[in-house]
Amino acid sequence: MQKITPFLWFDNNAEEAVEFYTSVFSALGGSANGGKNSKGGNATFYEEQGAEVSGQPKGSVMTIPFQLYGQNFTALNGGPLFKFNPSVSFFVNCKTENEVQILWDKLSEGGKALMPLDTYHFSEKYGWIQDKFGVSWQLILSVGEIKQSIVPSMLFVGNVCGRAEEAMNFYTSIFNNSKVLASFRYGVNQSPDKEGTIAFADFILEGQIFAAMDSAHAHDFAFNEAISFMVNCESQKEVDYFWKKLSEGGAEVQCGWLKDKFGLSWQIVPTDLGKLLSSPDPEKSKRVMGVMLQMKKLIIADLQKAYDGN
């Protein structure tokens, strides 16, 4: 199982977004990334209590898991509370210029370019696009072996600018099978960016590749709950561990959500939660949701008791 899953908060158009993304990426079945699945999964639905708290219609779609190039994502219909911004984006490593161009053309529809598709000192073909839903993609022609096709990237701006290296060290100290792979730093005369801060770095958490960058330029955005990272936990011991470590210096929120000390959002979730919330018996799911809504850190035993009616 993929340990860390990007979780995307949509303004009641998750179904449309998942259909769009899976169609865009599956259309490249013959590309360098061919043979990797891009498809939607089974949705969960809002029960009475979840609908009441969220303001969503009872029985409407709550979450949809989906895959792009075989990597797992989850989409949520959460309403207009949080908006996507470029503080978290997704690198797409492409083996051919044609693949970059196709993705650019498709993801550009109704969106806007943040950096034009062009040749840069770091890549023969690269562009940064914000799609029609607001999600940001960095499309890049890669050289050499592609170890992971889609890489989540964190942009440290505003009051956390200059802390990308600290964040990478923090995250790699918490997760297993983790290390910093490579770091490229700003040099002199690259104002407003401070010499020695991170121009680009990549690192591994639980065998998954992530990227980080600092930017001292003026930006009108910061990390928010529109994109969080869901940590799938096999036991209460794991839930307790990740909750304690990642919330240190940050903030405990609700229903398994927390913000770390850099403002990035995480969800610490037992792997059985989906089953408990999608029982064929709606009364069971209703009870689980009612108990979960009263929690910050999730307690598996209490959720199971609610499911069993105890």
Task: Give percent above pLDDT 90 in the chain.
Answer: 81
pTM of the model: 0.95
Handedness of CA 88, 135, 266, 25 (dihedral sign): negative
- What is the arithmetic mean of pLDDT over 27-48? 73
- Predicted confidence at residue 47, as pLDDT, reads 81
Candidates 123, 118, 116, 6; CA nearest to 63 is 6
Report the chain's mean pLDDT, rounded to a whole number. Answer: 93
Candidates 226, 242, 251, 205; CA nearest to 74 is 226
Spell out where 131-290 has E strands.
136-141, 150-156, 179-185, 198-205, 208-214, 227-233, 251-252, 257-259, 265-270
Regarding the domain with residue range 234-308, which homologous superfamily does it belong to in the CATH classification?
2,3-Dihydroxybiphenyl 1,2-Dioxygenase, domain 1 (3.10.180.10)
Gap between the Cα atoms of 258 and 138, Å rounded: 27
- Categorize the per-residue pLDDT at 33 as very low, low, confident or very high, splitting at 50, 70 and 90: low
